[in-house]
Amino acid sequence: MIYNDEQLPNEDSIAKMQQGYARRVSILQNEDNGTNNGVNNGQNANNGQSINNGQNAGSNINLGQSNGQNLGQNSELSAIASSIDWETNTALLNSLSRTQNRCMRSFIRGLIPLNQQDRDEINGYYNQNGIRRNPSVINTNSGTFNQTLRDYIRNETELLDRIVELLYLETDADRRTSLNNIIRRRLDALDTLASFWSGTIFG
């Protein structure tokens, strides 16, 4: 469009000028919007990446904390399991099984393999690193039958106390069920032993 400074403006020239102005403004606005959209899209992408990075970092921290807690718990459970004195129980049961009473002897001999099964099951859960407690030095020859029975019941209550600790700390449902069954079975055995000799033990 050619402008003549000496020519007075008319309606046509003013309309053409307005159209040209409007066109230029529209182009500029479109350029600004495109630039802003590009920047905003880049910022949104960066923000999404930052959020994801933050979430991943948080997840990794939580995973690390969870793994640390699990390792600490497993170590504590293993230490408790390793402190259980299975050997003393087995030796005392073998000594008690020499009784002349056939009914008592049959029951006690049945407890020996059960004691070994419980030992193997619990060691299989918590003592996979091969660590075992040192065996106790047990003299079962000099004591009387009643004294040996008292020693067995004393040792059995300590053993049950350790298994209850495992049950309290264990979070796995299947292992909790197994530990609960072991505790119930051993309590029933103690109840039967007490019923055999209640007169001599508590009299």
User: Per-residue DSSP letters for 106-144?
Assistant: HHHHHHHHHHHHHHHHHHHHH-TT---PPPP----SSS-
Two structure tokens written together for 21: 């102005």
Contact at 8 Å (CB) between 153 and 92?
no
Q: What is the pLDDT of residues 19-34, one digit of tens each?
A: 766 676 676 667 655 5
Q: What angle, rounded to 10 degrees, do the helices at 173-202 and 102-126 form?
A: 150
CB 97 within 8 A of CB 109: yes
According to the model, what pLDDT value does residue 74 have? 82
pTM of the model: 0.60
User: Do 115 and 90 meet the contact criterion of CB atoms below 8 Å apart?
Assistant: yes
| Burial classification of residue 199, based on how many CB atoms lie within 10 Å of its CB (0-12 exposed, 13-18 middle, 19 or more buried) | exposed
Angle between helices 145-169 and 11-82 (to 10 degrees): 180
The low-confidence residues of the chain, meaning pLDDT below 50, are: 130, 201-203
**Per-residue pLDDT at 38:** 57
Alpha carbons 6 and 11: distance in angstroms, whole number: 16
pLDDT of the residue at 70: 60
Query: pLDDT tens-digit profile of 120-147?
Result: 999 999 975 545 555 555 555 557 888 8
Q: What pLDDT does 152 receive?
A: 92
For residue 101, the model assigns a pLDDT of: 86
